[in-house]
């Protein structure tokens, strides 16, 4: 417990780059129930290389806060099962990644879904619920 508290007190911010992708299991969950737990579990997550996690003092299963100029969201961090060179973190397209994607398009109608600059830090809060991400939506 004491050690855990220590992690939060220090919990520094790190700058990261995030890119989004699509995942068949998450799409399957979306078609079935976009308000369900499975969709949330597969969406509200960020995947990073082992070495990046190590550098930031994070471990798989930690909750992290991601903050960009456009918004902030709490998701679970996961270690990539692939041999990643590091430097980029990955999120599937979902309301959780959309919460931190800029609406800036240079007037061209396409947001930067694939290149998000954000800060990451260990979080105590629960994973941001869907209702909080969607303006005007009731549970």
Partner 1 sequence: MVTCTGCALLCDDIEIVVENGRIKEIRNACRRGTSRMKGCVNRLIPSIYQKPSDIDSAIRKAAEILKSAKSPMLFGFSNSTCEAQVRGIGLARKLNAMIDDTSSFCQGMLIEKVLQKKFRTCSLEDARNRADVLIYWGSDAQDSQPRHLSRFSYFPRGESRQRGYEEDRIAIAIDVRESNTAKICKGHFYRIPLKGDREFILALIDALSGKVPSYDTKKILELAGILKKAEFGMVFAGIGLTYSIKEDTGVLLTLGDLLPNFHIMPMVGHYNMRGFNESLFRETGFVNRVKFNGNVIHEDKYSILEILKEKRTDALLVIGADPLLSLPGTVVKHLSAIPVICIDPCTTLTSKIAAVTIPCAVSGVESDGTAVRMDGEVIKLSKVVENNYASDEIILNRLMEAV
- Applying CB under 8 A, the residues found at the interface with partner 1 are 17, 19, 21-25, 27-29, 31-36, 70-71, 82-85, 88, 90, 93-95, 98-103, 105, 107-115, 130, 133-138
Q: Which is nearer to partner 1, 10 or 32 (CB)?
A: 32
CA dist 110 and 77 (Å) reads 27
Task: Write down the least CB distance from residue 6 to partner 1, Å.
Answer: 33
CA dist 39 and 81 (Å) reads 20
Determine contact, residues 111/105, Cβ cutoff 8 Å.
Answer: yes
| Residues 102, 125, 8, 94, Cα dihedral to 10° | -30
Task: Write down the least CB distance from residue 84 to partner 1, Å.
Answer: 7
Task: Write down the least CB distance from residue 67 to partner 1, Å.
Answer: 13
The whole-angstrom distance between residue 120's C-alpha and the CA centroid of its chain comes to 9
Q: Which is nearer to partner 1, 6 or 36 (CB)?
A: 36
Reduced to 3 states, what is the DSSP secondary structure of residue 119?
A: strand
Task: Write down the least CB distance from residue 14 to partner 1, Å.
Answer: 17
Q: Which is nearer to partner 1, 11 or 97 (CB)?
A: 97
């Amino acid at each position: 417990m004491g050690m855990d508290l220590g992690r939060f007190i220090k919990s520094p911010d790190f700058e990261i780059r995030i890119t989004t992708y699509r995942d068949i299991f998450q799409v399957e969950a979306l078609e079935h129930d976009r308000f369900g737990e499975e969709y949330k579990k597969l969406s509200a997550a960020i995947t990073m290389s082992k070495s990046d996690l190590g550098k930031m003092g994070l471990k798989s299963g930690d909750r992290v806060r991601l903050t960009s100029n456009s918004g902030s969201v709490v998701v679970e961090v996961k270690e990539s099962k692939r041999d990643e060179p590091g430097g980029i973190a990955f999120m599937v397209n979902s309301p959780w990644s959309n919460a931190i994607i800029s609406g800036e398009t240079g007037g061209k109608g396409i947001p930067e879904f694939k290149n998000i600059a954000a800060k990451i830090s260990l979080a105590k809060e629960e994973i941001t619920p869907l209702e909080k991400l969607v303006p005007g939506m009731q549970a």
